[in-house]
Amino acid sequence: MPVRPSNVRPSNVRHALVAGSVGNFVEWYEFGVYGSFATVIASRFFTPEGGDGGQALIAAYAAFAIAFFFRPLGALLFGRLADRAGRRPALVLAVSLMTGATTLIGVLPAYSAIGVLAPWSLTLLRCLQGLSAGGEFGGAVSLLTETAPPGRRGRHGAWQSFTVALGLLTGAGLAAGLATLLPESALYAWGWRVPFLLALPLGAVALWLRLRLPETAPPSLPPPTERSTRVEGPAPKGMPGAVLLGIGRIMGWSAAGYTFLVVLPSYLQATLGTSFRHALAAGFVANLGFAATILPAGALSDRVGRRAVMLTGSLLVVLTALPLLRLLRDPGTPVAAKALLLAAAGAMIGLLAGPGPALLAEMFPTRVRSTGLGLAYALSNAVFAGCAGLIVTALVRHTGNPDVPALYAAGACALAVPALLTLRPDDHLRPLR
């Protein structure tokens, strides 16, 4: 019999679903804001008077990328806490740290006020966010999938990705609204701080919901007499192989998702000369397509399997990323057609993000689930997502090739295909171990 890691009652499944996913909303809201305001942050924190704006943007993305390399550490620390003490303490601590760090960014003095302390302080806060984000995913996905009714792990796990989309949409939408309502001078002076400060009340709501979660017991190990005969999946010493396989299966999701959903607005501004407002609107439309497909993709994976849905999404990115980007760059492409193309790009990522959380949860047994899936997700995002803005911006700048974003996304999805093929078609039907 599979071990139940939590004493969450069926009557509390809905509360567990909301409380488990709400922290992801806060986390990705901040990422949406940071991605949308990357050019503003570069000018405020990484550009001394008379400095190179292009180099400052690369520096801003470097701070973005460095934070991602703290996510595996967060996944390890918070994952061990969740696997030993229960899901709730880890989730409460993660959302508290994220809220505090994001709010502090909103009050951080700019380069003009404190000089080189500005970029270093911003980078430190980003690292704290990376720690909390790394711990958030493992605990949240474990809670969502472990409390899911039979046959609905894909749908419940997809809520993690759906709140990611809501967070990105809210962050990008608020940024676009401020860019529309405020003159550019006010936006650069103080307007960009507003979305970061709003993280405080959002985080307070998330914390309140998580504090009201039923207490979860640490996963129990089988009795000593059974440990030699029970097979529950990768033991801690064999977990590195499972983590590496998990990274391979979701690397396309990580790379393509950040390329099209987070990096795109700055790419359009820096490479194509698109206006700030139009670039933010483009990112918003792409995230709408992403949000629209996540829950249906998760539910579909409960019927046809994780492998079929994620292979479809990966192959679509491989085949269409380059022509899609070239049509976006073509001045002859009608605006309505560009909007549809952006939504289609987001929808392809939704096919990967919907089944992804359940796929990872099904790879690890209860006693190491939060740690294992959290590490796989954090490492994949550190290498293929956190570095996306830095890699794309630097390569476009140094090679002059505007196709770099499409090639990066398509390449990562192509490499993910062999790992996805190792999934068994009936993995979604098996009970959690």
Within-domain flag for 401: yes
**CATH number reported for the structural domain that contains residue 103 in this entry:** 1.20.1250.20
Q: Is there a domain that residue 433 lies in?
A: no
Q: Is residue 163 part of a domain?
A: yes
Cβ atoms of 3 and 140 closer than 8 Å: no
Tokens encoding 230: 């029970």
Q: Which domain holds residue 20?
A: 11-214+238-427
Whole-number pLDDT of residue 249: 96
Q: Are 139 and 90 in contact (CB under 8 A)?
A: yes
Query: Is 220 inside a domain boundary?
Result: no
Residue 156 lies in a domain: yes
Tokens of 53: 């704006």
Q: Mean pLDDT per 10-residue run, the chain (433 residues)?
A: 44 72 81 78 74 65 76 89 85 90 91 85 88 85 86 92 86 84 87 92 89 61 40 60 94 91 75 73 85 96 96 97 89 85 93 96 90 92 80 82 91 96 88 80
The residue behind tokens 């098996």 is 430
Any domain includes 5: no
Helical axes 53-68 vs 117-146, angle rounded to 10°: 40
Domain count, the chain: 1
Which pLDDT does position 9 carry in this prediction? 52
| Structural domain contains residue 221 | no
pTM, 2 dp: 0.81
